[in-house]
Amino acid sequence: MKQRIHHCLVATVLLATSFAGSTARSAETITFSEHIAPIVFENCASCHRSKEAAPFSLLNYRDVQKRGELILTVVEDRYMPPWHVQSKDYVFQDHRGLTETEVALISDWVESGMAEGDSSKLPALPKFTGGWQLGEPDLVVSMKEGYTLYAEGPDIYRNFVVPLNLDEDKWIQAIKFRPGVRSVVHHSLFYYDTSGDARQRDAADPVPGFKTMGRGTERGGAIGGWALGGTPKMLPDGLAYRLPKGSDLILSTHFHPSGKEETEVSTVGFYFADEPPSQRFTGIQLPPVFGALAGINIPAGDSAYTKTDSFVLPVDVKAFGISAHAHYLGKCMSMTATLPGGEVKELMTIPDWDFSWQESYRFDGYISLPAGTRLDSEVVWDNSEDNFNNPNVPPKRVR
């Protein structure tokens, strides 16, 4: 606890200096048209426009001025734009985030009364391509039936089975996921299942889909995922996921009830490679299994239950992406690579885990990890009352 308080001080001091720095700018010169619109159009408008996931548009002066204080709060909090991973050593593609200077500009603008300025200086809105950004997919499928979720209550995790009826193996280069009701679909992880097991579970459950978090299928594999605001991407250099013939697609979807009942029908577009790829890739998961199998046994009230794992790469690896996965009690997560020469690189840290954003991140280019590199991962769980996501009040032991 002591330690935390200390850190808080550090954090507040940092904030304070950035404020002090920002007031040096003469505030009345800051206008929406010239200074704020470029930041908002670039960093917010992709989601904050009609038919996208965010609840309101931020596309003009009035949209932004009327929510000035709220916008300042969410950008100072680093709650918007949503971004949850960091690395000192590597850059992620599609990184979202405002610089200190941009936040300070917004702060000064809000505090100085939010002038509109000369509207002829307004930048053009970025061009957004709706629909299938990667062109017409090779295969489009939808959930067979709508799933109706309640207006309020805990978040829902549910798996939906979509038969693909493929009579030959395919190679997936990209998947585009289109939620039916954007305000309630938070993310979806994709799996394939060749065992028919998922179909059976679906049939056994009277409501469309079936429960259990994560994948819930034995013979199959992960083939990517989508999180709110995500845009589809081709795998690099002709890499592709194998999709065996006869597979069912499993959408493992996280919903966020919105205050009214909604019925979701998700649609998925596949982009296939013409030929099998010449190179293969694989995922390395640390710890390799979750939950009971990983020996997790978190006492009630423990606010920092920590589990570490490591793995030495037997071959040279080129890494291009990374993701993290934890449930309600996850708090922070990190992975480092100790290169054979002893140099330690931070692959990823998710400092303030928000379990609702299970995203995967693509590195900007490949990261070379020679054979002999040691990967270390650390996951910290918070099973105390202070963890808002704790499903148990008071906390209970979790195994």
Partner 1 sequence: MRVFKNHCSIGVCLALSCLGAIATAGEKALPDAVEDTSVSILDIEGQERAPFQLDEAKASVLLFVTQDCPISNAYAPEMARLRSEFGSKGFALTLVYVDPDVSRNEIAEHMKAYSLTGYVAIADRRHDLVKATGARVTPEAVVTLPDGAIAYRGRIDNMYPSLGNRRRVITEKDLRSALNSIDQNEAIDRVRTQAVGCYIPNL
Closest by CA to 97, choosing from 89, 86, 108, is 86
Per CB under 6 A, contacts with ligand HEC among 195-234 are 228-229
Nearest alpha carbon to residue 190 among 157, 223, 155, 219:
223
At CB < 8 A and 24+ separation, what contacts does 206-213 make?
Answer: 207/147, 208/143, 208/144, 208/145, 208/146, 208/147, 208/160, 209/147, 209/158, 209/159, 209/160, 209/161, 210/158, 210/159, 210/161, 211/157, 211/158, 211/159, 212/157, 212/159, 213/157, 213/252, 213/327
Count of positions on this chain that bind partner 1 (CB under 8 A): 52
Closest approach of partner 1 to the CB of residue 97, in Å: 14
Contact positions with ligand HEC (CB under 6 A) in 112-141: none
Nearest distance from residue 190's CB to ligand HEC, in Å? Answer: 19
Binding flag, residue 159, ligand HEC (CB under 6 A)? no
372 lines the binding site for partner 1 (CB under 8 A): no
Find the binder of partner 1 among 31, 159, 252, 334 (CB under 8 A): 334
Residue 157's beta-bridge partner residues? 254
Q: Is 44 in the site for ligand HEC (CB under 6 A)?
A: yes
Nearer to ligand HEC, 40 or 322 (CB): 40
Output the CA angle 38-44-47, nearest 5 degrees: 140
Q: Which of 4, 121, 211, 219 binds partner 1 (CB under 8 A)?
A: 4
141 forms beta bridges with: 268
Quote the CA–CA distance of 199 and 288 in Å, as a whole number.
26
Q: Return phi, psi of residue 60, to 5°.
A: -150, 180
Interatomic CA distance for residues 42 and 140, integer angstroms: 30
CB 75: neighbour CB atoms within 10 A? 22
Instruction: Verify binding: residue 254, ligand HEC, rule CB under 6 A.
Output: no
Per-residue CA distances from 185 to 208, 223, 293, 389 (Å) = 16, 19, 30, 18
CB of 150 to partner 1, least distance (A): 9
- Give whichever of 70 and 344 is closer to ligand HEC, judged by the CB atom: 70
Taking CB within 5 to 8 Å according to partner kind, which of ligand HEC, partner 1, none is near residue 68?
partner 1
**Between 332 and 371, how does the x/- string for binding to ligand HEC read (CB under 6 A)?**
----------------------------------------
In the complex, the smallest distance separating the C-beta of residue 105 from partner 1, rounded to whole angstroms, is 18
Q: Rule CB under 8 A: which of 186-245 touch partner 1?
A: none
When CB distances are held under 5 to 8 angstroms depending on the partner's kind, the choice from ligand HEC, partner 1, none that residue 113 binds is none
C-alpha–C-alpha distance, residues 354 and 331, integer Å = 7
Binding residues for ligand HEC, total number by CB under 6 A: 20
Question: 238: burial class by Cβ within 10 Å (0-12, 13-18, 19+)?
Answer: middle
By a kind-dependent CB cut-off of 5 to 8 A, residue 138 interacts, out of ligand HEC, partner 1, none, with none
Question: Among residue numbers 276 through 295, which ones bind partner 1 (CB under 8 A)?
Answer: none
- Of 163, 351, 365, 370, the residue at the interface with partner 1 (CB under 8 A) is 351
The answer to whether residue 77 forms part of the interface with partner 1 (CB under 8 A) is yes
Q: Does 263 bind partner 1 (CB under 8 A)?
A: no
Out of 21, 55, 196, 365, point to the residue binding ligand HEC (CB under 6 A).
55
Name the binder of 354 from partner 1, ligand HEC, none, CB < 5-8 A by kind. partner 1
- The interface partner of residue 140, options being ligand HEC, partner 1, none and the CB cut-off 5 to 8 Å by kind, is none
Interacting residues toward ligand HEC by CB under 6 A: 43-44, 46-48, 53-55, 67, 70-71, 74-75, 80-82, 96, 98, 228-229
Interacting residues toward partner 1 by CB under 8 A: 3-4, 7-8, 10-12, 15, 55-56, 62, 65-70, 73-74, 76-79, 86, 114, 151-152, 154, 183, 257-260, 304, 308, 328, 331-332, 334, 349, 351-352, 354, 376, 378, 380, 388-393
